[in-house]
Amino acid sequence: MYLNQKPGWIEVICGPMFAGKTEELLRRVRRLEYAKKNIVVFKPTIDDRYANNEVVSHNNSRTKSVNIAYARQIFDYINKETDVVAIDEIQFLDEEVVKIVDFLAERKIRVIVSGLDKDFRGEPFSFMPKLLAIAEYVTKLTAICVKCGRPATRTQRLVDKKPARYQDPIVLIGAEESYEARCRRCHKVYRKPRPYKNEITT
């Protein structure tokens, strides 16, 4: 599908936790490395779950990365030779990243990003809807619901093994100890407002 196009576009890999987003990003990066492309991989400093200057997936696949606290720092690490910019966990950067990746794609850079489309409440994660709208290609991955085995599209946050509350802060770094992949039916949030409760009866 890319063959007839000039380089320069945005690819988003999204979905819940445990869907293999990082692995998919690394797979795409690896293929480009074999092709000797000039690639820079970024990761927000906020996620310190794994090695500091590496992007690491659950299956321990890894590649060198630049940690950035602000989206603007991307410009400090790219130059005219850069063919590809990849960003893991993009949802943790500031919203300016949306304009920046658009600018990079205009400058004929292939941009590959991965991130959560929804937060633990099941609501769109900050600027991710904007990014999905401007991307040329979107890959929405699913995990497997730990409760029922259906495809999981949501991330369950657990606090003391109980579902987190709707009012809790959005950012809470972690993995197995605080999060699980769940399907729509098994996903639970305490005190989540239900706006359509009175309109729809099933």
Residues of this chain that bind Mg ion (CB under 5 A): 22
* Tokens representing residue 131 in the block: 């990014």
Residues 6+ apart with CB under 8 A from 194: none
Residue 18's binding partner out of ligand TTP, Mg ion, none, with CB under 5 to 8 Å set by partner kind: ligand TTP
Stretch in the footprint of ligand TTP (CB under 6 A) among 16-24, 33-41, 72-80, 102-110: 16-24
Residue 102's binding partner out of ligand TTP, Mg ion, none, with CB under 5 to 8 Å set by partner kind: none
Min dist CB 67 to ligand TTP, Å, is 14
By CB under 6 A, name the one of 10, 17, 41, 111 that touches ligand TTP: 17
Which residues are the active-site residues?
89
Residue 134's binding partner out of ligand TTP, Mg ion, none, with CB under 5 to 8 Å set by partner kind: none
Per-residue contact flags (x/-) with ligand TTP for residues 42 to 81, judged by CB under 6 A: -----x-x--------x-----------------------
Q: Verify binding: residue 22, ligand TTP, rule CB under 6 A.
A: yes
3-state class (DSSP) for residue 93: coil
Q: List binders of ligand TTP among 129-158 (CB under 6 A).
A: 155
Q: List binders of ligand TTP among 162-181 (CB under 6 A).
A: 170-175, 179
Q: Which of 111, 199, 188, 187 has its CA nearest to residue 152?
A: 187
Q: Which of 111, 122, 88, 81 has its CA nearest to residue 7?
A: 111
Sign of torsion over alpha carbons 80, 83, 88, 92: positive
Helix ranges (DSSP H) in 10-153: 21-34, 96-106, 128-134
Stretch in the footprint of ligand TTP (CB under 6 A) among 32-40, 61-69, 102-110, 116-124: 116-124
Residue 172's binding partner out of Mg ion, ligand TTP, none, with CB under 5 to 8 Å set by partner kind: ligand TTP
Identity of the residue numbered 129 = P
Q: Are strands 9-15 and 137-140 parallel, antiparallel or unpaired?
A: parallel
Ramachandran class of 18: left when φ > 0, alpha when ψ lies in -120 to 50, beta otherwise: left
Sign of torsion over alpha carbons 26, 40, 44, 49: positive
CB 109 within 8 A of CB 85: yes
Which positions lie near ligand TTP, rule CB under 6 A?
A: 17-22, 47, 49, 58, 89, 116, 119-120, 155, 170-175, 179
